[in-house]
Structure 1
Amino acid sequence: MSLLLAVDVGNTNVVLGIFDLTQGPDAPLICSWRLATSRERTVDEYGLSALALMRHRGIEASQIKHVAISCVVPPLHPILMALSKTYFGVEAFYVEPGVKTGVKVLIDNPAELGADRLVNAVAGIEKYGAPLIVVDFGTATTFDVVNAKKEYLGGLITPGVKISAEALFQRASRLPRVEIAEPERLVGRNTVQAMQAGIFYGYIGMVDGILQRLLEECPEAQVVATGGLGRVMAPHIPRIQHVSPDLTLDGLRILWLRNQGGRRPA
């Protein structure tokens, strides 16, 4: 069995996914896991965590023949590259400027584009076509726009819903922390209910309002949601047509195939 380990490193979570390459270019995602992102973890801590999760699903390190990494946390770049070599014996394919993507990036400085946003655009085009808008509900919520020519035009970055809620908790001393979830009612009858409704529906209104403006400029675009809270938020935002929780992992698989698994110089 030839398996690809895809690693998406975000500011909040490290997401691991396993693809079975023996099933062809459309290899399915066998399983995935989320770890908390920590800049203090060592190569061994990440490596042992990955091995334990894999063995729980009957996967051995020797079955991992390739590793593809997308990382937006620079201090973890050498950690994850070392993990690939130390625990799986392979040089990782790393998404960085210069890799073959098939997408022309038209922003002012393409080198500053987050790897996850580029990977999402690649996967979104592959799965849903272009034009396209990708909404990623992560630490920040990002909106990425691709035109009908499959050119990446740019996007928007907003504070994620958890960041927004945390600011409210910190700045209003009498307000408690609450779970971010769909509230039971719109009009809260106590402080917790009022906060849940305000955070949840306020954020939905913000996302929906941005999408309305984007679709006025790009009316034919497909809208896809991904990220940790994508499945929670998307059902309440009618302009979102697709929900793809594993979009970034799929993008890593696609990019690895397009680059034949070769690692570009750092």
Structure 2
Amino acid sequence: MDLKIQHFVIFVTITCLSACNDAPQKLSKISGQQLPITDSINVTDSIDIFVAPYRSRVNEVLDSTLAYAPKQITKNDGKYNTSAGNLMADIILSEANPIFKSRTGNDIDFVISNHGGIRSIISKGKVSARTAYEVMPFENSIVVVAIKGKSVRDLISFLINANSPHPIAGMQIVLNNNETLKDVNIQGLPFDENRTYYVATSNYLADGGDDMGFFRDDINPVDLNYLIRNAMIDYFKKVDTLRAKVDDRFIKIE
């Protein structure tokens, strides 16, 4: 064998053996840097040109007028119930009940949502799909759960003791002057603790979000696979004018 080739073979062999005997490498340091996305970043013309027609179409759909609000609708205009909360709960009841009825043969008895889930006012003027995205930016779907009367009693106590007016529909709660419970009516009938009630809410709350533990004993929850935001958009398309106000669904007798 040629001496040069022999030396090369020896060198490669030693190198391979040395590599195999190297100690395992360990990560010694991790570093990171925050790169904020601001308007100081230059637009890439080719990407912007490609996206432009899609952006234009999305904005056209989102901003098309679906209904009209004669006044501002907000979640801060009442102590026990609010115009925005009432509208949200009423929409869930009206839009979800036909779906639930067709699938199960049962009607939704009442609705409960959460005050914090309403993320924007509805301004006076035109109401669009974008309005729904602003009010309900989350991907929460409507779930109907069957809960026993005892759990409904816990739900009522939760609402009475809450620091915020959580949206309800299909139910009326009346407090005495000292804020003790006077009456509860569900679909116009006195609350019956021996009954099981069908309650529409969001999947987030049905899973116990916002400390709503009374849903832990729910029976056969039915996820309608219907986003609350989409229910809002469907409702906006049906009505000409949004009639939302603070009413007597949750009141205290003075």
Is the shorter-chain TM-score for this pair beyond 0.5, marking a shared fold?
no
Q: Which has the higher contact order (CA 8 A, sep 6+)?
A: 2
Considering only CA atoms, is the larger Rg found in Structure 1 or Structure 2?
2
Q: Given the two structures, how large is their TM-score scaled by the length of structure 1?
A: 0.30
TM normalised by structure 2 equals 0.31
